[in-house]
Amino acid sequence: MSCMSRQKIILGITGGIAAYKTPELIRRLKDRGADVQVVLTRSAREFVTETTLQAVSGLPVRTNLWDKEAEAAMGHIELARWADLVLIAPATAEIMARLASGAAPDLLTTLCLATGAPIAIAPAMNHVMWSNPAVQENRQKLADRGFRILGPADGDQACGESGPGRMLEPDDIVKAVTAPIAVAEVGPAPLAGKNVMITAGPTIEPIDPVRFISNRSSGKMGYALAASARDAGASVILISGPANIPLPDGVDSISVESAREMFAAVHANIDDVDIFVGAAAVGDYHAADVKPEKIKKSHENLSITLVKNPDILSSVARLKDGPFTVGFAAETENLHEHAFGKLENKNLDMIVANLVGKGRGFDKDDNAVEVFWHEGERAFPLMNKKTLAGELVTLIAERYQVSLQTDTKTELPSIAVRD
Ligand code: PMT
């Protein structure tokens, strides 16, 4: 690999359950400045989709040695020459056997025979399979031929048993195969020197000293965005409602409970913010009259008068010389229509729309979103929120740069806090 170029990695994915971790692995490799070309075996397609891998890697996924169109773009021999490294993760017992025997029935094995690049494999299989003498013999043969064998790790397995055979975690694989990031190789971090504020989690609105109104937000999406913005070089302020997940390292955080507290914390710190992202699920209403003592259940029916909370996102978007403002739209129906409505009505630069309810969006590890801005849109299929956050931060950084050249935002009257 030359000093100024990006590392070019062919990621071969074979058919094991650990394939579900590969979008995260690709994301981490790209964070380290690598270009990743995915080659998927037929059985791997049972565990992870081409759509997800293409979205995360940014390159069409290669699956077939006999695909004329793909071969016309970059034939398998060119692909084998292109690579600085071939990484196979997860590597099943089957691929190890094929590599050890030199058989080449498909694109991945053919590439491995044709490449001069180093090959690393991250085995993943049931612990009894791993200790099988045939597998161990193949492992030894591959190691003797110079293949790097990464792991496997010892621990709980998808089959419910425990022992050696788990694929190494994506971070550990990345550390093993990539060089330390050199600024000259990957260019400056896209948000270096920028201040990013992110709201996350739910808000809670008390109705008496022991009860409150809230929602199902876990904070996972907002916290992942904060970590990705930090990784992109930004100084990050995370303003979070009550969430039961660890705060990301290296970000400043402010904990709040109610929407009005969040509003106050946002405006107390907004002055130098370049990019604002509203991922919090902010309560739309608070109780008009918070009872000083616990409400007794003496009546058959109980009515609570609710008063609208200030809209934090709108208030930021309306600031004179305010930040590039990105909202979220959590919808149970008519995603496009409602998201566009919010983009316009709240005077936003961008909106990230997700369907929620029925097991989607809230408190899940995965999310699928559609992002809209005034001149375009992009869809991100279902993927881990951490991976998605990395993709969203890249897109936000791109659009932010464009906005600096063409600032067309309308200035609207500001909004005051209502009580
Ligand atoms: O936290 P997780 O469990 O990971 O779930 C993630 C998520 C579903 C909460 C997240 O992806 C998401 O959709 N966040 C926004 C939820 C929401 O409140 O959506 P909304 O359509 O009701 O609000 C639109 C926008 O206005 C949001 O950016 C919201 O932060 C903002 N808003 C809303 C009301 C208010 N009073 N002030 C605001 O700033």
Q: Does the Cβ of 356 fall within 6 Å of ligand 1?
A: yes
Class of residue 3 by CB neighbours under 10 A (exposed 0-12, middle 13-18, buried 19+): exposed
Distance 279 CA to ligand 1 centre (A): 5
> With 60 as the cut, is the pLDDT of residue 2 above it?
no
* pTM (two decimals): 0.63
pLDDT grade for 418, boundaries at 50, 70 and 90: very low
Class of residue 43 by CB neighbours under 10 A (exposed 0-12, middle 13-18, buried 19+): middle
Point out the ligand 1 atom lying closest to the alpha carbon of residue 356.
8
> Which residue among the candidates 159, 186, 295, 412 is catalytic per the annotation?
159
**DSSP label at residue 43:** G
Q: Which two tokens stand for residue 11?
A: 């990621």
Choose among 116, 234, 231: nearest CA to 181.
231
Q: What is the pLDDT of residues 47-75, one digit of tens each?
A: 999 999 999 999 999 998 888 777 777 78
Average pLDDT, rounded, for the chain:
90
Angle at 17 between CA 13 and CA 23, to 5 degrees: 50
Is beta strand 285-287 parallel, antiparallel or unpaired with respect to 306-308?
antiparallel
Q: Does the Cβ of 312 fall within 6 Å of ligand 1?
A: yes
Choose among 217, 266, 213, 204: nearest CA to 237.
266
Who's near 21: CB < 8 A, 6+ residues apart?
90, 167, 169, 170
Question: What are 362-371's contacts with CB under 8 Å, separation 24+?
Answer: 362/215, 362/216, 362/217, 362/218, 362/281, 362/330, 363/216, 363/217, 363/218, 363/220, 364/220, 365/220, 367/221, 370/335, 370/336, 370/339, 371/395
Q: Does the Cβ of 124 fall within 6 Å of ligand 1?
A: no
Q: Does the Cβ of 147 fall within 6 Å of ligand 1?
A: no
Who's near 141: CB < 8 A, 6+ residues apart?
100
> What are the chain's domains?
8-185 (3.40.50.1950), 189-405 (3.40.50.10300)
Q: Is 3 a catalytic residue?
A: no
> With 50 as the cut, is the pLDDT of residue 4 above it?
no
* 151 φ/ψ sector (left φ>0, alpha ψ -120 to 50, else beta): left
Q: Does the Cβ of 330 fall within 6 Å of ligand 1?
A: yes
Who's near 374: CB < 8 A, 6+ residues apart?
343, 349, 408
Name the residue with the closest Cα to ligand 1, atom 24: 329
Distance 284 CA to ligand 1 centre (A): 10
Q: What is the pLDDT of residues 83-124, one digit of tens each?
A: 999 999 999 999 999 999 999 999 999 999 999 999 999 999
Range of weakest confidence among 7-11, 297-301, 326-330? 297-301
Give residue 5's pLDDT: 54
3-state secondary structure labels for all residues of 329-387: EEECCCHHHHHHHHHHHCCCCEEEEEECECCECCCCCEEEEEEEECCEEEEEEEEEHHH
> With 50 as the cut, is the pLDDT of residue 1 above it?
no
Taking a C-beta distance cutoff of 8 angstroms, is the pair 237, 252 a contact? yes
Q: Which two tokens stand for residue 192?
A: 């270096």
